Amino acid sequence: MGQLSTTAFLISSALKVLGVFTIWLLAVAGVTLAERKVAAWIQDRSGPNRVGPWGTFQPLADGLKNFVKEENLPAGASRWLFYLAPVISMFPAFVVFAVIPFAAPLATPWGGVNMVIADLPIGFLFIVALGSLGVYGLVLGGWASNSKYPFLGGVRASAQMISYEVALGLSLVPILMLSGNVSLPGIVHQQQQSLWFVLPLLVGLLFFTISYFAETNRLPFDMPEAESELVYGFHTEYSAMKFAMFMMAEYSNLIIASALIVTFFFGGWDIPFWTGDDLRYAADGSIAGGQSAWWITLLTGLAYALKVGFFVFLYIWVRWTVPRFRYDQVMALGWKILIPLLVVYIIVLGAVMLLLEGAGITFGTRYLLWLTALNLILMLGIMFWLDRSRIIVGTGWRQMRPQQAKPRG
C-alpha cells in the first residue's frame, strides 16, 4: 500500500467531491425542514406535515415551487449585481467544507485515501479566507435591490459581520497556540491522542460559538433581517429561486459553523474512549495508528454526522428560545466585550502555557488537564463578571425588573 497514483487520486477526489456535495445538498434541505419541525415542536404545534410522511418531502416541494415562481426585479435595481448576489452568497457556503475531515482514512488496494476533500497545508487559512467572502453576497444583495429595507439590512450586515470577523479570528488563535499547526486533520489527530479541546479551551469555545452565531446572522444577532424592523432585511426584494439560494447559503453556513465547532473542540470524527479509530493519514499514503477498515470509516463518519447534527439542533434551539438584541447591543458585545476579553484570554493562556513548559510538562494529557483547570477558573470569573448593563446598555436585570411600587402611607 502506498501513495495513490495520479489517476487514482483524481478519481477518488472526484468521487469524494460528488459524494460530499450530494450529501451536503441533502443536509441543507434536511436542516430547512429540521428548523421548521423543531420550531413547531418548541412552540407546541405540528409544523409541516402534509407532503410525504411527517412532511419529509417538504424541502423538495419548496424547491420545485421556488424554481417555477415568478422572479421579481425591482425598478431601478442593478440588474447584474442583483442576479450575482445569491451566487456570491452561496459559493463560499458550499466550498468551505472542502478542508474539513469527516471520517477516518481508508486503506484501499490502490493506496490510502484521506477522508477530507483536500488536505491543504493551509486548511485553517482557507476557512478564514473563504468564510469571510459570504458578506459580499449580503451587501451586494442589499445594495442592488435599490430599496430601503434591503439597503439598511445590507449595511447593517456588513458592519456586524466584519466586527465579529475580528472576534472570530481572535477566538481561533488559542486553537492554533495549542495545536501548533494549521492543518485540520492534524488538529483532529491531536485531539484523538490527548483530550478534546473543549476542555482545555472551554472559554475559547464560548467565544467561538458566540462569534459564529453573529457571523451566520442567527437569531440573537440576526440584525440583517430583523423582521420586526426591516421587513425581511437584505433579501426583501428577492423572490423565487434567488431567495431560495440565500436560504440555502444561510443553512449551509449553519452546518459549517457546527462542523467547525466539532472539528476544533469536539474531536472531529473521533469516537471517544475507543483507540481503534486513532488512524492517521501520512503524506506517503500509508495509514498509521491501527488497522483501517471500511466499517471504521463508516462509523467515524456517522459519529461526525451525529455531533454536527447536535450542534445544528443547538443553533435552532437557541433561535427559537432567545429574543433578539438591539443593534447597538450587538456591536457593543463584539467590540467592547468579546475583543478585549479574547485579548486577555490569549495572554493568560500564553503565559500559563509558558509556565507549564518551564515546569517541564510537555504537551500531553497532563498538560491539557492543567489548562482545563485554568479554563474552569476563567469560566467562573466570566460568569461572575457577566455584564449587568455596565457596558452594554439595556441588558441588565435591574432594568428588566419592574419598579417597586412605593407603599402608600
Region 341-360 residues binding other proteins, contact defined as CB under 8 A:
343, 346-347, 350-351, 353-354, 357
Closest to other proteins by CB, 19 vs 272, is 19
Asked if 71 interacts with other proteins (CB under 8 A), we say yes
Q: Write out the binding residues for other proteins, residues 264-303 only, by CB under 8 A.
A: 283
CB 53 within 8 A of CB 334: no
CB 244 within 8 A of CB 238: no
From the list 47-55, 66-74, 199-207, 368-376, the region that binds other proteins by CB under 8 A is 66-74
Among 45, 53, 70, 383, binds other proteins (CB under 8 A): 70
Closest to other proteins by CB, 146 vs 194, is 146
Nearest by Cα to 104 from 295, 373, 254: 295
Q: Write out the binding residues for other proteins, residues 309-328 only, by CB under 8 A.
A: 327-328
Closest to other proteins by CB, 161 vs 257, is 161
Residues 6+ apart with CB under 8 A from 386: none
Asked if 215 interacts with other proteins (CB under 8 A), we say no
Rg of the chain taking only CA atoms, in angstroms? 23
Cα torsion 119, 121, 127, 133: sign = negative
Q: Write out the binding residues for other proteins, residues 357-396 only, by CB under 8 A.
A: 357, 363
Site string (106-145) toward other proteins, x via CB under 8 A? -----------xxxxx--xxx-x--------------x-x
CA pair distance 171, 343, nearest whole angstrom: 9
From the list 29-37, 166-174, 220-228, 397-405, the region that binds other proteins by CB under 8 A is 166-174
Cα torsion 320, 323, 329, 332: sign = negative
CB 125 within 8 A of CB 25: no
Asked if 10 interacts with other proteins (CB under 8 A), we say yes
CA pair distance 209, 214, nearest whole angstrom: 9
Closest to other proteins by CB, 82 vs 213, is 82
Please compute, for residue 370, the number of CA atoms within 13 A of its CA located in the half-sphere on the CB side.
18
Asked if 98 interacts with other proteins (CB under 8 A), we say yes
- Closest separation in Å from C-beta 138 to other proteins: 14
Judged by CB under 8 A, how many residues of this single chain contact other proteins?
Answer: 89
Asked if 44 interacts with other proteins (CB under 8 A), we say no
CA pair distance 192, 288, nearest whole angstrom: 13
Cβ-based burial of 237 (10 A; exposed 0-12, middle 13-18, buried ≥19): buried
- Closest separation in Å from C-beta 307 to other proteins: 22
Among 60, 176, 288, 314, binds other proteins (CB under 8 A): 176
Asked if 199 interacts with other proteins (CB under 8 A), we say no
Helix (H) or strand (E) run with residue 26 in it:
helix 6-42
From the list 177-185, 187-195, 210-218, 259-267, the region that binds other proteins by CB under 8 A is 177-185
CA pair distance 74, 344, nearest whole angstrom: 48
Report the relative pairing of strands 287-288 and 280-281 from DSSP bridges: antiparallel
Name the residue with cell 428560545: 321
Q: Write out the binding residues for other proteins, residues 235-254 only, by CB under 8 A.
A: 236-237, 240-242, 244-245
Cα torsion 48, 49, 54, 59: sign = negative
DSSP secondary structure string for all residues of 218-263: -GGG-TTT-HHHHTTGGGTT--HHHHHHHHHHHHHHHHHHHHHHHH
Asked if 28 interacts with other proteins (CB under 8 A), we say no
From the list 37-45, 87-95, 267-275, 293-301, the region that binds other proteins by CB under 8 A is 87-95
From the list 40-48, 198-206, 272-280, 332-340, the region that binds other proteins by CB under 8 A is 332-340
Closest to other proteins by CB, 156 vs 319, is 156
Among 103, 159, 201, 368, binds other proteins (CB under 8 A): 159
CB 230 within 8 A of CB 152: yes
Asked if 227 interacts with other proteins (CB under 8 A), we say no
Residues 6+ apart with CB under 8 A from 64: none
Name the residue with cell 501520512: 282
Among 7, 45, 53, 76, binds other proteins (CB under 8 A): 76
Asked if 335 interacts with other proteins (CB under 8 A), we say yes
